[in-house]
Amino acid sequence: MTRPVDAALAREFGLNAEEYAKVVEIMGRTPSLTELGVFSVMWSEHCSYKSSRVFLKQLPTRAPWVVHGPGENAGVVEIGHGLCAVFKMESHNHPSFIEPYQGAATGVGGIMRDVFTMGARPVANLNALRFGDPDHPVTKRVVDGVVRGIGGYGNCVGVPTVGGEVNFHPAYNGNPLVNAMTVGIAPADRIFLSAAAGPGNPVVYVGSKTGRDGIHGATMASAEFGKDAEEKRPTVQVGDPFTEKLLIEACLELMATDAIVAIQDMGAAGLTSSSVEMAGKGGVGIALDLDAVPQRETGMSAYEMMLSESQERMLMVLRPEREEAARAIFGKWGLDFAVIGRITDSGRIVVRHQGRVEADIPLAPLADQAPLYHRPTTELTKPAVLNAARVENRLGLARALEQLVGCPDLCARSWIWEQYDSTIGGQTVKRPGAADAAVVRIDGQQMALALTTDCTPRYCAADPEAGGRQAVAEAWRNLTAVGARPLAITDNLNFGNPEKPEVMGAFASAIRGMATACEALNFPVVSGNVSLYNETEGRAILPTPAIGGLGVIDDAGKAMGLALPPWLDLVLIGGTRGWLGQSLWLREIAGREDGAPPPVDLPAERAAGDFVRAQILAGAVRACHDVSDGGLLVAVAEMAMAGMTGARLSTGPRDIPGHAYWFGEDQGRYVLAVADGPAVLRAAEAAGVPAVRIGYSGGADLTLPDGGTISVASLRTAHERFFPAWMGS
Amino acid sequence: MKAGIVLFPGINRERDMVIALERAAGQPPRMVWHTETDLSGLDVLVLPGGFSYGDYLRCGAMAAQSPVMGAVREHAARGGYVLGVCNGFQILTEAGLLPGALLRNAGLRFISADCHLRVERADTAFTSHFQRGSVFRAPMAHGDGNYFADSETLDRLEGENLVAFRYVSPKGEVTPEANRNGSARSIAGVYSPNLRVLGLMPHPEDLVDPLMGGEDGRPLFTSLMAA
């Protein structure tokens, strides 16, 4: 490249005129190409959070069990027995549209590195996926590629994929969302951080060699797509799960020694962000010699090496006297190990290549003077509450139920799960579909982790604040439904173009809703990721603040599933008004997407959840399922299908129309299958929690209060039809 | 019985195997690195599942050329026990210790699901704690588990009673639906002629604890450790 560095080139790199002027001011001269590259990726939306930072500060991040909140590679919470859980969710949306297999695969690889970088062995993966309309011409290809990519990477590395969620909506036609979450376990006294220290200490590069792949990936992820999305394929990286597996083993082996001062994975913006962040956080300087970087291609420039997003690479600062021992470990695993620089006390990053200084940037202003925007926000008018009595009910309960359990948003996901290894590790207590949250025992312990991902984008679109609150509450509820104590969340905030006031308004509102729920449920945010510019040709996705929740259950043997056993009382916990606004029934049966979404009453949520958890741990419950998409009847049907057991349901209250009672999506509710219904009802009354017996289990059919009947077997057929038929296998 | 678990780079189900062997034997197995060549003192060698060398070449083809495989061959030639599961089974076929090959699953997709296996004979060191003809559940997790051999080989395996397990329905019937990866004659596992080497695709080691959904796989390990 011989083009001069100027404002026009800066614009192509994603920096606007003011941002470029700031770069020139900091440098006191025209930056070199490599320097411009460093600034442009560090100041990209993806790396700098320049539009979202002012809002993210509102989220509660503290609790007595939080060890490291946002700002590290992943969140860390104490779980007892001298152990910590380390977890985070991160998006790989843009690459997954351009090249679904590699986009999703490298998303999984990247989030695993964030977790093992901190010293934790990854023990579970989850994925929150949103796809376009199944009838849209590209959706099938995207779903197929994303699912194969997630499986291809996770299965090979050997971390079980135990849960997640999938939605379809036309708003994702051009911008599917791939949000990958990894959870790891580390000894509480051996958490590794990224702040570099010790001038003179060696900076060590390990893992795969550097190639020209993924150059400017972070910039690509910080812009909308136009019609040229396909042409951006060269910015997508290619994953090598075999190397990732070796890297995990080698890093964990090294982490058992005292060799590491600081460590950081090379994720978005590769060598640039890892070196800048490590030196910046440590308040030191760093000098890099790019001639020492292991390279996969010849003739790479400094610019290309600094911006490459080649996967499966880590940067470490080591104690000098441990360098040879560390080299031996990486040699044993067959991985590159190269000293590519030293920590300095200069406060600058200095990059040398072939005898020339290619970049020399002061670190403090690179971080402190990064752009920070208070973008204009316009908040949506809240939609009116839908009067359920005025919505025509043209189908009986049985027909509507059969249709609902077969729709793309509610149908069986086994076609997806069966492509993910969910049992590897030998610790999976509740596999996908067996319970409201995945349950993974901790090796050598009686306790287990409960894990879930949640968000209801159609609620967020109608009322982002209510939707944000609901997403957090649902994660808390799903953990509670297996008997776990919810501890903390990671969030993955997927929105459109932040330069549009209505998008930023939705973002601000969603954060407000999330913050309220986190506060009320004592459920702090410990890590997260923001993905903006999820727009194609000016059309934005639904606001999608995906929540990854983590909880602990002290006795894995008490973890509760949702499969219904026969001949038990069915008890509904939580209050029901028959809320049809934004329900799936309304969309799938009545063909409407309107009304206000169901509100979450946080004190009631907490009371109901605490009651349910106590009943589970006391041994009073045989199956438990929260009531969410599709409402009460869908919840009962899901329990029935999982247990291959029918149920007979009683008539609901007279003042609520039947379809609203059975399909309304009122929040904060659970269905319990219990041996002694009256005892549970008495306990609920004593706890001040609404509870009502809705019927009992048994037989082969669901017998409904409007006189309709449907066999569980035929429900299951309807439930399992969609994916295999759609994908043709 | 002293067991050793053979580790190649990319193997990832060794921890599951450690749990299963330890529960059955009461003592931890020895971990054997792929560069080792002295396996003395070990009665059973276990090749666990995973993606050795990424399986970027044919599954198991690279691992079959490892230094340790010479020692594994000698161990087998001496009549020592060898168990290969999933990638371990693929490696044993690539190394010529078991006949046949494992092709891509018939549906061309990875399958992670429980399957049911019928115990074709219960008089071997691996199956003495099972009943002949009994059916047990085991998770499968593979993309290349479609057992293939030419018809003479298959006839010989059946004729010499060397088929260890078949994919069957929960009731024990051989059906196309139960044979999800498309294996020839529904074969899930095979023995060497001396019945000392066993390879199978599914993972009995992942079902040895009621907490994980059952103990169906346990008899395989208790049989072997008691042999």
Q: How far is B191 from chain A (nearest CA, A)?
A: 25
Q: What is the pLDDT of residues A698-714, one digit of tens each?
A: 999 999 999 999 999 99
**Inter-chain residue contact B12 with A157, CB threshold 8 Å:** yes
A418 CB neighbours in chain B (<8 A) are 109-113
How many angstroms away from the CA of A256 is the closest CA of chain B? 18
Over 80: is that where the pLDDT of A220 sits? no
Q: What is the pLDDT of residues B22-36, one digit of tens each?
A: 999 999 999 999 999
Write down the pLDDT at residue A214. Answer: 75
Judged against a pLDDT cut of 90, whether residue A233 lies above it is answered with no
Measured CB to CB, residues of chain A less than 8 Å from chain B are: 148, 151-152, 155-158, 240-243, 245-246, 333-334, 414, 417-429, 431, 441, 443, 556-557, 729
Please write the tens of the pLDDT for every residue from A20-62: 999 999 999 999 999 999 999 999 988 899 999 999 999 999 9
Closest CA to A438 of A10, A18, A87: A87
Mean pLDDT calculated for residue range A103-107: 96
Predicted local confidence at residue A268, as pLDDT? 80
- The predicted model gives A126-136 an average pLDDT of 97
Q: Tell me: pLDDT of A224 over 90.
A: no
**DSSP letter at A114?**
H
pLDDT of residue A236: 75
Smallest Cα distance from A443 to chain B, Å: 10
Q: Where are the beta strands (DSSP E) in A69-223?
A: 75-80, 83-91, 121-131, 161-168, 177-187, 202-207
| Residues of B that are catalytic | 86, 203, 205
A447 to chain B: nearest residue by CA?
B211
Position A235 scores a pLDDT of 66
Tokens of A396: 């009986």
Asked if B115 and B180 count as a contact pair (C-beta separation under 8 A), the reply is yes
Q: What is the pLDDT of residues B143-177, one digit of tens each?
A: 999 999 999 999 999 999 999 999 999 999 999 99
Lowest-confidence region among A282-291, A302-311, A514-523: A302-311
pLDDT in tens, A473-493: 999 999 999 999 999 999 999
Sequence-distant (6+) residues with CB within 8 A of B52 are: B8, B9, B10, B11, B60, B62, B63, B87, B91
Contact state of B206 with A426 under an 8 Å Cβ cutoff? yes
**Contacting residues of A for B108, CB less than 8 Å apart:** 729
Q: What is the pLDDT of residues A524-543, one digit of tens each?
A: 999 999 999 999 889 999 99
Query: CB A155 to CB B143 under 8 A?
Result: yes
* CA dist., res. A74 & res. A415, Å (int): 30
pLDDT per residue as tens, chain B (227 positions): 999 999 999 999 999 999 999 999 999 999 999 999 999 999 999 999 999 999 999 999 999 999 999 999 999 999 999 999 999 999 999 999 999 999 999 999 999 999 999 999 999 999 999 999 999 999 999 999 999 999 999 999 999 999 999 999 999 999 999 999 999 999 999 999 999 999 999 999 999 999 999 999 999 999 999 98
Q: Quick check: B143 contacting A, CB < 8 Å? A: yes
Residue-level pLDDT at A359: 97
pLDDT of residue B102: 98
- Which residues 6+ apart lie within 8 Å of A584 measured at CB? A404, A407, A409, A410, A629, A630, A631, A634, A663, A665
User: What is the CA angle B219-B221-B222, rounded to 5?
Assistant: 65
HSE at residue A693, side-chain half, CA atoms within 13 A, is: 15
ipTM of the predicted assembly exceeds 0.90: yes
DSSP helix/strand/coil, A353: strand
What does the pLDDT average to over A326-345?
Answer: 97
What band does A238 get if pLDDT is binned at 50, 70 and 90? confident
**pLDDT on residue A533:** 93
Residue A700 belongs to what H/E stretch? none
pLDDT digits (tens, 9 = 90+) for A381-426: 999 999 998 998 889 999 999 999 999 999 999 999 999 999 999 9
Whole-number Å distance between alpha carbons of B89 and B151: 20
Is the pLDDT at A274 greater than 60? The verdict is: yes
Best mutation site among B62, B66, B109, B114 for testing chain A: the one with the most A CBs within 10 Å? B109
| Residues of chain A positioned with their CB less than 8 A from the CB of B216 | none
Burial class (CB in 10 A: 0-12, 13-18, 19+), B160: exposed
* B19 interface with A at CB cutoff 8 Å: yes
So what's the pLDDT on residue A164? 96
The answer to whether A3 touches A9, Cβ cutoff 8 Å, is yes
Given a cut of 70, whether residue A232 has pLDDT beyond it is: no
Residues of A known to be catalytic: 46, 92
**DSSP for residue A541:** P
pLDDT confidence tier of residue A651, bands split at 50, 70 and 90: very high
Stretch A447-472: mean pLDDT: 98
Total-model pTM:
0.96
Q: Which residues contact B136 (CB under 8 A, 6 or more apart)?
A: B116, B117, B119, B130, B204, B216, B217, B219
Name residue A338's amino acid: A
pLDDT band at A229 (very low <50, low <70, confident <90, very high): low
Chain B residues lying within 8 Å of A729, measured CB to CB: 107-109
Model pLDDT, residue A46: 87
A148 vs B contacts (CB less than 8 Å): 109-110
Separation between Cα atoms, residue A662 and residue A5, nearest integer Å: 64
State pLDDT tens for residues A547-568: 999 999 999 999 999 999 999 9
pLDDT score for B68: 97
Predicted local distance difference test score (pLDDT) of residue A2? 64
